[in-house]
Amino acid sequence: MPLTGPRDMFAKALAGGFAVGAFNINNMETVQGILQAAGDERSPVILQVSNGARQYAGRGYLRKMAEAASEETDVPFVLHLDHGSGFDICKACIDGGFTSVMIDASSKPFAENIEITKKVVEYAHDHGVVVEAELGTLAGIEDEVKVAAHEASYTHPEEVEEFVSKTGCDSLAIAIGTSHGAYKFKPEQCTVNEQGILVPPPLRFDVLKEVSKRLPGFPIVLHGSSSVPQEYVKMINEHGGKMPDAIGIPEEMLRQAATMAVCKINVDSDLRLAMTGVIRKQFAEHPDQFDPRQYLKPARIALRDMVRHKIVNVMGCNGKA
């Protein structure tokens, strides 16, 4: 199935009370694992490429992998630029065949964010490409996106109507308490449940409700939405890793958001954790192995299973292809 844009996906998600999963790709195994999961669950899906991934894999490689995958995949999927830092990278991805781009000027003053976003939107729309923008700033680290906790800010609902009307963006990423990376919260910010697991503060659903009230029927996006599954944190730590106090967003909160105005939920860290945990375990249990296929195959399976879990239990988009 050829690459597609996300407009129809988002319209169906808003009408059906589910979200579409947006999963980051870095290499062949991530592309294969994500699309195998989407095919198994008959789900639409978004493949995301960060600037760091473009630099790691080469600017053309991930695009060509997606193109090759489209010949073997029978579910709709989008190729999306994640956190485009300016007009030039957005233009390069649009010209290179991406069907969706994100311009992230959220660190700029409001008026400058509008100006930069509008420029990208005008070019993208002239080429039939959809644009995601961001208002509000998430804390955490993801590739080149690094925001200290004291620099983060929730989205101000009173700004969203002006921002969307002046930029013409097609979807809007908002900040309601999610955070990038595997270390989303400090332990002192959390409570401890009966199982001894750290539970982060709840998401600001009041902000989400007010935004959706002001932008009825408009696609909302959540970044920084990995749950940091503790079984993989434990697996990593038991096999030579060091990830103390890695804390994510509880999946029930994300599922609640998916039933509201949120139609795209980004997941990256959970995929990294699944692959890394399995690879570390494989190295420890099979020290004689040296063929990369021997550890990349089980890592790809773990990633596939993680994506299937997210599609069914977080997004609710299984059977929606």
Which residues carry out catalysis?
82
DSSP letter, residue 311: I
SS3 state at 296: helix
How far is Cα 174 from Cα 157, in angstroms, rounded to an integer? 9
Q: How far is CA 49 from CA 27, 59, 62, in A?
A: 10, 10, 8
Region at 246 (left for phi over 0; alpha for psi -120 to 50; beta for the rest):
beta
- CA dist., res. 147 & res. 132, Å (int): 19
Q: Give how far Cα 134 sits from Cα of 64, 164, 221, Å.
A: 28, 10, 9
The encoded tokens of residue 25 equal 């790709």
Helix (H, G, I), strand (E, B) or coil at 165: helix
DSSP 4-20: --SHHHHHHHHHHT--E
